[in-house]
Amino acid sequence: MNPLKVMYIDEDEGEIRQFKRKFIDVFEVETVDFSDIQFSNLIDKLSEKEFDYLIVDYHLNEKSGCGFDGDAVLIDFLRRFPHFPTMLLTNQDQGAIESVKGLDIEKVRSKKEYLSDELRPAFSARIIAKVEQYQNDIKEAEEKLEQLAQKRATDIGLSADEEDESIRLDDFLDEILDADARGIPKEVLTSTNDTRLGELLTKTDDLINRLKAYEDISQQ
């Protein structure tokens, strides 16, 4: 099994080398070049999601002069991919917690957690567990949505609760690909019309195929 790919965003080359050394036998660590970085280009690169977990350092502007900090990167990324496993890493965890707005404080972690030999195993385990949970949630949603779509096509149909679950699952899987993407309209999901049912099944199959294609790419 290939090691998990962690994208680590930091302006400091020394911090990057240190992070790689600490996890050389645990993760495959990818980074970006801050010599000529722009916010939009960085977000575009991250949106390709060719990694399993995203870690962004809180202070990105001190040495690079890039004009933005890590919380802005993470908030923008999570706007499009709200379920993706991420972390904001900082030397000043209390200060970051107090100043960061619009980000779950559970995602703000101290660098002490991986610098410490005692705490590092738990830090690694957290990352692995979050990735596994994310991947399992996708798989379970795909399987359940397929089951609901198949049941909808029978004479039995779906109950009101199952209709609601179908909408929730579709929204979740759309957000996995891109929260800005257009999902299946609610009237299509809840209609009993054969034409709209066919559209639902087609879109469900397409959504699942796109997710599987993404999973294949991310595992390479």
Q: Which of the four pLDDT bands, split at 50, 70 and 90, describes residue 64?
A: confident
Q: Which of 8-22, 73-87, 169-183, 203-217 has the lowest mean pLDDT?
A: 203-217
173 and 207 within one domain: yes
72 and 45 within one domain: yes
Residue 19, domain member (yes or no): yes
Does 159 or 61 have the greater pLDDT score?
159
Range 5-28 average pLDDT: 95
Q: Is the pLDDT of residue 219 over 70?
A: no
- Residue 191: per-residue pLDDT: 47
Residue 126, domain member (yes or no): no
How many domains does the chain fold into? 2
pTM of the predicted structure, to 2 decimals: 0.81
103 and 11 within one domain: yes
Q: Is the pLDDT of residue 130 over 90?
A: yes
Q: Which of 79-88, 98-107, 126-135 has the lowest mean pLDDT?
A: 98-107
Range 185-195 average pLDDT: 46
Ramachandran bin of 55, using left for φ above 0, alpha for ψ from -120 to 50, beta for the remaining angles: beta
Residue 125, domain member (yes or no): no
User: Which amino acid, one-letter code, is at 207?
Assistant: L
- Contact assessment for residue 148 and residue 169, using Cβ atoms and an 8 Å cutoff: yes
> Residue 92 belongs to what domain range?
5-115
Question: Could you say which of 115, 144, 164 is where a domain stops?
Answer: 115
Residue 30, domain member (yes or no): yes
73 and 21 within one domain: yes
Q: Is the pLDDT of residue 13 over 50?
A: yes
